Structure 1
């Protein structure tokens, strides 16, 4: 029997982690409710806690995921902007 590997969005993972971290609910209970593997949820919670060791200063998991997505978007747009500047300079030089 083959198992189908499910992929979860960062938002889903952040919501699941928030149920454990912020609401202080057991991993097993949240995993059953969301119909996901306990070890997967435990791993997501572990990663979040490693990245945010101080629970007082740590942003909620949903905000952390949103911030990471925004930072990735800023990086991508900065790279595109740099490329477009180089292309514009190249075409400006090659015009007769």
Structure 2
């Protein structure tokens, strides 16, 4: 399976959305499958109205949203770990205080 860069995908999509090329003509010119290009155009249009894709984003705004969502998940995970560690150490400190 061929791997395309996000920049290439955006260039292909802009041939259709900005320059007005028909999908089939753009697909042939860029040597991309017709259905693949249709999918990229659909995803691009969804991103333009704020729908974050499950796949790698095409637009810079949606790429940033995906990056921030990933950071939020990591921070939530770190926060949960810290809560568990705090609870553990609180229990250990209480054990130590009772044995004296």
Compute the TM-score of the two structures, normalised by the length of structure 1: 0.64
1:42 paired residue among 14, 38, 44: 38
Two-structure CA RMSD over aligned residues (Å): 2.8
Q: Unaligned stretches of 5+ in structure 2?
A: 51-56, 94-100
Distance 2:88 2:16 in 1: 59
1:12 paired residue among 4, 8, 13: 8
Equivalent residue, structure 1, for 2:71: 77
Contact 2:44 2:59 in 1 (8 A): no
Q: Unaligned stretches of 5+ in structure 1?
A: none
- Farther-moved stretch of structure 1 (38-47 vs 16-25): 38-47
- Give the Å deviation of 1:32: 2.2
Compute the TM-score of the two structures, normalised by the length of structure 2: 0.62
Contact 2:27 2:33 in 1 (8 A): yes
Q: Which has the higher contact order (CA 8 A, sep 6+)?
A: 1
- Name which one, 1 or 2, has greater alpha-carbon Rg: 2
